[in-house]
Structure formats: C-alpha cells, structure tokens
A and B are shown apart, each in its own frame.
Chain A
C-alpha cells in the first residue's frame, strides 16, 4: 500500500478545484438561463410558456448522466472538437437552468396577485414589475430550494468523471488506484464533499425556518 503524501493530497485538491469551478459555472450559467426559463414559464404568451415547460420536462425527466453523454458526444458528432470541461460545463448549465427555472417559477407564482395589480395600477411596466416587485420576493422565498439544488449540483458534478473529466471524485479514484487505499481515500473525498455541502444544507434549513417563522 502506498503512502498518502503531499502529492496525492495536491492531486485531490486539484480535483476539488474543478468540482467547485464546475459547480460555479453550472450554478451561475444555469441561474442566468434559469431566470429566462422561469420568466418564459410565467409569461402571458402561451407559446413561451409551453416551450419553457417542454424544456423543463426534458431535463427533469432524463438522467444527468445521459445529458452529459448527449452534450459531450453530440457536440463531437456535430464536428466540433471541444474540451471535456467545456462540454461538461454546457451540460451542467442546461441541467441547472431547467431545475432553477422550475424552482423560481414556483416562487414567482407564489407572489400574491395583488402585488402585480398594485404595480400595474401604478403604471409600472413588465421589466420594472419583475425586477423591482416580483423577482426580489420570488427569489427570496425560493432561496431554501435554490440552496438545496446547489448541494445536489455540487454532488452531481461527480458524474462528469464519466466523460473523462478529472474532478474530485475521479481524482479520488485515480489516487486510490495508485495507492491501493480506497477506504482512506474515499473517506477523505467524502469528507471534503461533506464539508462543502453540509454547511450549505444547514444554511438552507435555517433560511427555511426563518421564513416559516416570518410567515406566522
């Protein structure tokens, strides 16, 4: 059995860096597109609503793993050669946008109709009505679910290993193969995921409690 030295730990941290980067890209990119999806989903135009609903059901109804394959090999088949991390970043962005879009759709629809009516009566247009009145309230009530999804996304990045992307889980596998100490290595890898995800979950839970209290 090999030793777990500085090099091995550095290699794991390198993987961690990619895990965090991928999560951040997926979350930010997914957040931007997700906002568009949520707005389309709650739009007054039925064509937009239906398109957004279709988009959401495709990404919610298929495994993330399959979405990764389709984007990775699909882009290759189209004749573009892109690096694995770009393909993976696109796949995660699309995946996250569908889920965040649906979470925020719920938030937008939970805002009382009177808010929109008051904004309308004051003469506010769509952009201001959304940006100033509806979205700040909708995103706030969606925050616990959004944080919950972020935790799912961070853990989900481990699936990127399947297309050869070396993130934390894959880095762990490589180190484990070299050192023959799978229990220790995956223990460390698991602990790292936990240290990142657990505080987020706690935070999400606390947000939810605080809102439940405020609603009483």
Chain B
C-alpha cells in the first residue's frame, strides 16, 4: 500500500525551509512530504523546532526560505494563500485556546459561519456531529471554564474538525493535561487517525506514536535528524542523538 500512495502528489510538503528568530536559526533546511491519510509524529527535545515547524504550515509563523505547499497552494505572503491553507488545515494547541466567552457550541460554529459562510442551523448541525464524535455533545451549552482540561481539548479538536479540514496539526495536545486526562484525548486522536485523517502531531506520547504513526520524525536543533516507521524508530534508531533522546524519554515510561 505505501507504494501505491507514493505515486500520489503529497497533500502537504515543505521544501528546503529555513526559519530564523533574529539570529537564532530555528528551522534548518526542512524537507517533509505528507501524503493524504498519513500520520506523522514529530518528537524531539524542547527547543528543537518541532512546534515551530507545524506552526509554519498554517502560517502562524513566517518562513524566511523555502517552499510550503498545501493541497496545491503555495504558501506566500498573500492573504489569499494563507486563507486557502488555513481553510484546509486544522490546529489543536497545547493550551486548548477555546474562546472563554462562548459556549462549547458557539466555539464550534463561529469559524464555519464566518469563514465558510455556513448558516447557523447548518453550522450547529455540523458542530453537534463533531461534538458527538469527541463524545462531549452533552456539554454543548456549557462554557469552557466549566469543563475539565481533557474535555476542553476534545472540544478544541471538534472545533477544528467543524471546518472539515483535510489535515490536522496537533501541537503537544496532551502536555498541559493532568495525567488522568491524557488518555481521553489520545483516544479521540486515535479514532481520528483510524478514520483516515491526515495528521501531524508534535507529542512525547510514544505509545501513541507506536500505535498510529506511519512515520516518526526526530528533530534536534532545528533539523530533522531521523525519520522512520515506528518499529524501526523505536527498536533500531540509527542516529546517536535519537538513541540518547529515546533512552531518556523511555526511561520514564
């Protein structure tokens, strides 16, 4: 199957991407192709550039060099290309970033109504469908602060899904959660992966990586150091920095 998929053009690609924060070289010559339906897990020590990488994909960060293509749209400075990319790519943040002054349902209907021009009835129908899918429909009329962290993160996933994106970016979605809530969010993500969503996840949840990733990518100092299917990546990492990182992270599990 992977061979058949290889012939298709990627849903998302980064070519020779470089990014600086002032003098700090945050991303160095990043090359990445993600096919439709592929699940990528990005890991690496903090400050390695993995969050920056996915934030460049939906233009939350600007790149200085290279090309990013999403669904045939080349990302440039124009508002038009940024709009096109953001319509197709959903994002889930570490700190949920739900809108606190809106109910769960309103959080989910805002973007479809404002960006896609969906009417309220249809937007609510879509919202209920995805809230149901993340198993939180019964909380639809509550405000974010009334929900637990795990519930809020599941709402954030539903909110992104309401735009019916072609790909989803996850930026450490479980890092801000209490341990007992990590599982419900991971289970939601696993369900999403099984349904065929294209996903790029920055996470330290190695169990999740083993279970759903097609490829695990290890980054350090702004570079992609190693890229391999999970079995190879965990059993037989080739680069010493990957070995050191895995040694450290797996010692805690």
Contacts and interface: CB of A to CB of B under 8 A. Distances in A.
Interface of A: 112, 114-115, 117-125, 128, 132-133, 136-137, 140
Contacts of B87: 123
A122 B156 CA distance: 11
A140 B101 contact: yes
Interface in B35-92: 58-60, 83, 86-87, 89-91
A46 B242 CA distance: 44
A125 B115 CA distance: 8
B100 interface: yes
Contacts of A137: 99-101
Nearest to A117: B60
B97 A114 contact: yes
Contacts of A136: 101
Given A114-B93, A114-B95, A122 B110 contact: yes
Contact of A124 (B60, B101, B115): B115
B93 A123 contact: no
A121 B60 contact: yes
Interface of B: 58-60, 83, 86-87, 89-91, 93, 95, 97-101, 110-111, 114-115, 156, 159-160, 163
Contact of B83 (A112, A123, A128, A140): A123
Given A117-B60, A118-B99, A137-B100, A124 B111 contact: yes
Query: Taking chain A's interface residues, is the majority helix, strand, or loop, or is none over half, making it mixed?
Result: helix
Contacts of A125: 83, 114-115
Given A120-B60, A123-B115, A133 B83 contact: no
B101 A122 contact: no
Contacts of B99: 115, 118-119, 132-133, 137
B90 to A, nearest CB: 7
21 contacts: A114-B93, A114-B97, A115-B99, A117-B60, A118-B97, A118-B156, A119-B99, A120-B59, A120-B86, A121-B90, A121-B91, A121-B160, A122-B90, A123-B83, A123-B111, A124-B110, A124-B111, A128-B114, A132-B114, A133-B99, A136-B101
A140 to B, nearest CB: 7
A89 to B, nearest CB: 33
**What are the 10 A-B residue pairs with the smallest beta carbon separation, nearest first?**
A118-B97, A122-B111, A123-B86, A114-B97, A121-B91, A123-B115, A128-B114, A136-B101, A123-B87, A114-B95
Nearest to B145: A214
A29 B143 CA distance: 33
A125 B87 CA distance: 12
A119 B163 CA distance: 12
Contacts of B91: 118, 121
A114 B94 CA distance: 10
Contacts of B110: 122, 124, 128, 132-133
